Amino acid sequence: MDTLGTRIRRLRKDKQMTLEQVAAGKLTKGMLSLIENGKAHPSMENLHHIALQLGVDVSDLIGNQNREEIRAILNKAEVLWEKINSPQEGKPLLDLIDPIVDSLPDTYEGARLLEFYGKIHLLHENEEMLTHLEKAEHIYKKLHLHNEVVNIQIFRSELHFLKHAFDEALSDILKVRKEIEVNDWHLNKMTKIELDYIEAAYYYAVGDYEEGAKITKKALDYMNETHIYHIARELYVLAIVEATMNGNEERWNYYMRKLKQFAEFTENPTFTLHAEILTIHYFCQYKQQYEDVLKMIENIKLTTSEAELFKNFIRLEEGIALFGLKKYEEALSKIQQCKIDSILPHPLDLSNQYRKFTFQALCYLELGNLKMAQKEINTAVELFSKMPPTPEKQFTMETYEKIKKASRYDN
């Protein structure tokens, strides 16, 4: 099989050059030997060096990669992609694709590798690499792989979402919807449900809760009809959030039961914990059963990884419960330990976290420190000014007026 390595070895031998001569101090003889034997992939920098030593263009080395070689590279890339949890972990995948990225064929394999390459660079906010993702999308369209096209467009919308450009993210999804409708694309069941979930979450992000609830119901109905449950937890959480905000206890109980059943069915302790956290929030913020909240928090058992995920939220709810029980100093101490988690970009998650400053202001007010109360509530108001209407935002504005009134009396 004519691979990159065999082409380098053939050119080297044709020119009667040794491994040492081609390596020329830039890379080791051992590394060059691994490259020639297909056991290592050179970086673009090393590929340029090898081409220079051999007196050829890089394109002569890359050549027209045959499909088997591309498929082998894609198989490695798929494994690496599954292991990536942050943009910083994408370097091995970039190093794998970089030497061949400019010569990838207009095939599924080529498009998939371009997709990986473009996504990782965009996660690093390297906008120049958008062209690779656009090329992948173009190839998918040419091959009528519409699910792959939609997945790329969802990814691009998520980049806007991560930058808190919520209106732009929703606009992206609505454009996707229009393109699907105009071209009569037939999507698979999983893509349909994922698109519904994303759209519903975006509607909630811009404060259109009625439309978000409608899309959530549509997705849940389709999930139950098709028995596709891969994002059941996410959909149940959306339904629980909607019921919580509307004070609909019957719907809250129904979907909470569904979430717990799903957690039990999947035997996933994190899903169970998520249900417990949502219950604590509901009983604290909306039912104001503070003694029950403290008991629930006391009974929660967290692993180390779960503690990192949920500890700030639990501390905040515990502090709010203590405030509700008029234990203001304890409440303030607990709330001050909470940190804002910037990796949660959704406005509803952020609104829950920003309550920290509202309740710190209330604690200071009750403790007679009006200056600190004003400082904290001003911070809360500024943060909530960027958020859509939520019960938390309304409560913060009411608190602002309360503290402003207290300030007038104090003067």
pLDDT at residue 406, rounded to an integer: 86
With contact defined as beta carbons under 8 Å apart, do 117 and 128 qualify?
A: no
pLDDT at residue 47, rounded to an integer: 81
Q: Where are the domains positioned within the chain?
A: 350-411
Contacts 24+ apart (CB under 8 A), 384-387: 384/351, 384/354, 386/164, 387/347, 387/350, 387/351, 387/354
Rounded distance, CA 351 to CA 345, Å?
10
Phi and psi angles of residue 180, each rounded to the nearest 5 degrees, phi first: -65, -45
Residue 20 burial by Cβ neighbours in a 10 Å radius (0-12, 13-18, 19+):
exposed
Rounded distance, CA 209 to CA 21, Å?
67
Phi and psi angles of residue 208, each rounded to the nearest 5 degrees, phi first: -95, 80
pLDDT at residue 66, rounded to an integer: 64
Q: Which of these, 242, 245, 236, lies nearest to 274 by C-alpha position?
A: 236
Q: What is the mean pLDDT of each run of 10 residues along the chain (411 residues)?
A: 77 88 87 85 80 80 68 91 85 88 85 93 73 92 93 94 93 96 93 96 94 95 94 95 88 95 90 91 92 92 66 92 97 93 82 95 96 96 92 94 83 55
pLDDT at residue 401, rounded to an integer: 95
CA distances to 7, 17, 50, 53, 144 from 22, in Å? 13, 7, 6, 5, 44
pLDDT at residue 57, rounded to an integer: 76
Phi and psi angles of residue 390, each rounded to the nearest 5 degrees, phi first: -140, 160
CA 64-68-73 angle, to 5 degrees, is 90
With contact defined as beta carbons under 8 Å apart, do 195 and 174 qualify?
A: no
- Cβ-proximal residues to 238 (8 Å cutoff; 6+ apart), any chain: 197, 200, 201, 204, 212, 216
* DSSP summary character for residue 30: H
pLDDT at residue 394, rounded to an integer: 94
Rounded distance, CA 280 to CA 290, Å?
9
Q: Which of these, 80, 95, 139, 89, lies nearest to 115 by C-alpha position?
A: 139
How many Cβ atoms from other residues are within 10 Å of residue 144's Cβ?
11
DSSP count for the chain of H helices, then E strands: 22, 0
At 311-346, the pLDDT tens digits run 888 999 999 999 999 999 999 999 999 988 766 679
Phi and psi angles of residue 206, each rounded to the nearest 5 degrees, phi first: -95, 5
pLDDT at residue 71, rounded to an integer: 86
Q: What is the dihedral of CA 291, 278, 221, 197, to 10 degrees?
A: 160
At 210-243, the pLDDT tens digits run 999 999 999 999 999 999 999 999 999 999 998 9
pLDDT at residue 223, rounded to an integer: 95
Rounded distance, CA 83 to CA 90, Å?
9
